[in-house]
């Protein structure tokens, strides 16, 4: 049984939402955020990445930086750019990117469900990143970025969403990247109860993105149990069949002292290889590599993909790591290696080609997207996904919904 609850969100003034709402804090660098926010005092990066306001070197984890974020949040509230709702609601958030549409629920999810593994994770978290988000929540006394969750699609929830979104949205804007963001509020007690009851009938939720935000909010619930709604955290929850996962591609700095012909020879022991193609894999266990100014289409040999004991071991990212990166290129830990660079599939394969042709990298691997069913299966097994195996697109926008611990 999954527990969710309505809350009174802090939300942007609809007429200024396009200038306020920004990408999640962890998908842009501080320098990128500084460039985006330049000349825009309403940009939420002044709150989610307040280090952008400091000149020269600054410790982004210093109390001074977090306090600047708090000051900037208060300023947006005082200016009426962010407005506190008066009564609890459950919200609907829709993103549209080209022909892709995904519609999810904005609500508070339960820290107890997270602790008891009814909210299932698939990544390890890093202590310093947990500490960072914990301090950010504590000093702002607000959770400014939602955890991205999903559930196995449920017709009861679909029906309520169709009904609510038949009316015009309360907030509706197209961001600079062309993605449309729309939001509705459900304030009627009967509809709220229908949503809460439908979630109560689910066995589990899954974290798509935001493991550190989730872990930090759970920690805050234990550190500050007297805060209002301390046992819950800000979430956007989508049905699984609405999600769009793009590939997470790889660039490799060198060939581990192998010549290109030696490297290709080593790959032949792992893959059935075909020269040429456009660099775009067509299905699972199909990978492409760009080396020597051309693409090769690769398919893992059958003996490498049969008889594996867990779903995680059979993922293309795991197979590539075990048989190529570690087995051939000597890259033992992809999380720490300086020989690997990960590139979100939204950038396309032309970026991979350009990086290799520039001489900065020796080769590039283009991946087939991980399937959402694989992510669920790994989480159900209590497993961990290999690093950088999912790139969800479109990205949620921070500041559309803020959870104030009032």
> What CA–CA distance (Å, rounded) separates 323 from 267?
9
Higher pLDDT, 306 or 73: 73
pLDDT band at 239 (very low <50, low <70, confident <90, very high): very high
CA dihedral of residues 59, 64, 69, 71 (deg, nearest 10): -160
Strand 363-366 versus strand 286-291 pairing type: antiparallel
φ and ψ of 55, to 5 deg: -85, 145
pLDDT of residue 309 exceeding 90: no
Evaluate whether 316 touches 284 at the Cβ level (below 8 Å). Answer: yes
pLDDT band at 51 (very low <50, low <70, confident <90, very high): very high
pLDDT digits (tens, 9 = 90+) for 114-152: 999 999 999 889 899 999 999 999 999 999 999 999 999
ω into 261 cis (within 30 of 0): no
pLDDT of residue 191 exceeding 80: yes
For the chain, the domains span: 4-244+393-404, 248-368
What pTM was computed for the model?
A: 0.93
pLDDT at 21: 98
Please classify residue 175 by burial: count the beta carbons closer than 10 Å to its beta carbon, then call 0-12 exposed, 13-18 middle and 19+ buried: middle
pLDDT at 57: 84
Q: What is the mean pLDDT of residues 182-205?
A: 96
pLDDT at 307: 85
């Amino acid at each position: 049984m999954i527990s969710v609850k309505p809350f009174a969100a802090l939300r942007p003034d609809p007429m200024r939402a396009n200038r306020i709402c920004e990408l999640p804090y962890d998908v842009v660098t501080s320098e990128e955020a500084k460039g985006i926010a330049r000349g825009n005092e309403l940009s939420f990066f002044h709150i989610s990445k307040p280090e952008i306001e400091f000149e020269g070197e600054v410790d982004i984890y210093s109390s001074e930086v977090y306090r600047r974020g708090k000051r900037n949040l208060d300023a947006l509230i005082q200016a009426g750019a962010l407005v506190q709702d008066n009564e609890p609601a459950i919200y609907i958030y829709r993103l549209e990117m080209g022909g892709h549409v995904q519609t999810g629920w904005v609500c508070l999810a339960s820290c107890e469900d997270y602790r008891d593994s009814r909210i299932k994770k698939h990544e390890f978290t890093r202590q310093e990143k947990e500490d960072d988000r914990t301090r950010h929540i504590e000093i702002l006394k607000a959770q400014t970025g939602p955890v991205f969750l999903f559930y196995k699609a449920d017709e009861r929830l679909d029906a309520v969403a169709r009904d609510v979104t038949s009316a015009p949205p309360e907030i509706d804007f197209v961001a600079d990247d062309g993605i449309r963001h729309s939001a509705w509020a459900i304030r009627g007690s009967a509809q709220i109860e229908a949503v809460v009851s439908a979630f109560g009938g689910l066995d589990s939720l899954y974290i798509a993105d935001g493991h550190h935000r989730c872990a930090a909010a759970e920690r805050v619930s234990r550190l500050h149990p007297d805060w209002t709604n301390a046992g819950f955290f800000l979430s956007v929850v989508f049905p699984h069949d609405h999600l769009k996962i793009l590939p997470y591609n790889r660039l490799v700095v060198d060939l581990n002292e192998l010549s290109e012909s030696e490297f290709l020879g080593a790959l032949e022991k792992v893959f059935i290889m075909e020269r040429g193609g456009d660099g775009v894999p067509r299905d699972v266990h199909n990978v492409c590599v760009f080396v020597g100014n051309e693409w090769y289409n690769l398919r893992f040999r059958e003996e490498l993909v049969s008889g594996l004991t867990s779903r995680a071991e059979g993922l293309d990212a795991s197979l590539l790591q075990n048989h190529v990166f570690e087995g051939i290129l000597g890259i033992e830990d992809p999380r720490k290696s300086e020989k690997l660079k990960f590139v979100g599939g939204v950038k396309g394969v032309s970026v991979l080609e350009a990086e290799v042709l520039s001489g900065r990298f020796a080769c590039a691997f283009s991946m087939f997207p991980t399937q959402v069913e694989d992510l669920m299966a790994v989480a159900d097994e209590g497993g961990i996904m290999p690093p950088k195996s999912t790139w969800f697109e479109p990205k949620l926008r921070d500041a559309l919904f803020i959870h104030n611990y009032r």
